[in-house]
Amino acid sequence: MTKETAERVAKWNSTEDITKWSSEVAKFAAYAQPQLAETAGKACAACPFRNNASMGGCIGEDCPVSAARKAMLLTTKRMSAGVKEIFKAKCRVKSA
């Protein structure tokens, strides 16, 4: 989250709104992570590159399935960092 976005959100939303948003993001992540992990596991199991050294092996970070997994795993971390930035901005707005 950029500083400008955090300031805009802090200026126009209450603490209750911010807390509700972070709660909904956490619920989303808790619901979606197991489903994504299961589906991604199936996609990896069917991948022709996995465990096939003659084709170069797993493409790792360049794989869209790997990217989706990584993004999902970072969801709660990014949300927590975003909430922290919003509350910092909220304090700056109040003191100004």
Q: What is the pLDDT of residues 23-42, one digit of tens each?
A: 999 999 999 999 999 999 99
pLDDT band at 49 (very low <50, low <70, confident <90, very high): confident
Nearest CA to 87 out of 5, 6, 2, 4 is that of 6
Roughly how many angstroms between the first and final C-alpha of the chain, as a whole number?
Answer: 21
What pLDDT band is residue 96 in, cutting at 50, 70 and 90?
low
Handedness of CA 53, 56, 61, 64 (dihedral sign): negative
Q: Average model confidence (pLDDT) for the chain?
A: 89
**For the chain, what's the residue count?**
96
Distance CA 55, CA 66 (A): 18
Distance CA 88, CA 80 (A): 12
